[in-house]
Amino acid sequence: MTGTYRMAGKVIGINSLYDEVHRYCADYRCDGKPDFCVTVSQSDIDRERAKSLNAQPPLTSPRDAYLEELAVYRKIAEKMPDYDTILFHGSVVAVDGAGYLFTARSGTGKSTHTRLWRELFGSRAVMVNDDKPLLHIADTVTACGTPYNGKHRLSANISVPLKAVCVLTRAAENSIVRIDAHTAYPVLLQQAYRPADVEAMRKTVELLDGLTRSVKLFRLGCNMNIEAAQIAYEAMSRE
């Protein structure tokens, strides 16, 4: 089964064993000659199953069609550094057309925090991607929606300039501070997709360096009060 899809400005051909991945990516379907193609085999699906057993928490009896969705995005992520783009684990919300990325370990509250932004700003706020956006990193950074958008399926098929990245931590009181690249880098490296290919990994490290130079970096200690969104926006949106 085949289809073509546009993600982060690139047309990607997907050749799959199951139709489910094409339904999953339907909002990104397009015409045109692919910039590159990914093809999934049963061995790719079997590797995803092995990885799922080591996940926290481990997946229980995942279906092959679901595992193929993961395999497809992994293959896309392996290729994207060739186009100055990386997959990043975080939640991106845009306000008035500017993107703000929140990243942290799973379970910290990224999705809850960006929900507070949507409550605070209403129609001014748009979810770009709630889980695994693509970041195109050049002189500026562009955050791109993808169909791989978390369990709540929150995203839009849009790309926005990324203004700031914030490392999210839980705290009783809300506070936000600027941090430097040296402080942010271990978290950014952990949260970026790290390709198996050596050259792609080298390029990913270069792109992360570019990310730290191109956007402002913050650490937010927050509770789940809407005040956290207000404090974060006021600091991160300043020129």
Domain ranges of the chain: 2-82, 86-236
Give Cβ neighbours of residue 206 (< 8 Å, ≥ 6 apart).
Answer: none
Q: Do residues 152 and 111 lie in contact, with contact meaning Cβ atoms separated by under 8 Å?
A: yes
Contact between 4 and 30 (Cβ < 8 Å): yes
pLDDT for 152: 84
pTM (two decimals): 0.94
Amino acid 239: pLDDT: 64
The pLDDT score that the predictor gives to residue 151 is 84
Task: Determine the longest span between alpha carbons in the chain, in angstroms.
Answer: 52
The pLDDT of residue 56: 66
pLDDT at 154: 85
Q: In the chain, which stretches have pLDDT less than 70?
A: 56-59, 239
**pLDDT in the model for residue 178:** 97
Q: Could you count the other beta carbons within 10 Å of the beta carbon of residue 182?
A: 8
Residue 210, φ and ψ in degrees, nearest 5:
-65, -35
Provide the pLDDT for residue 14: 98
Provide CATH code, domain 86-236.
Answer: 3.90.228.20
Instruction: Specify the pLDDT at position 52.
Output: 84
Tokens of residue 81, six digits = 């550094």
Residue 121's Cβ-side half-sphere holds a number of Cα atoms within 13 Å equal to 24
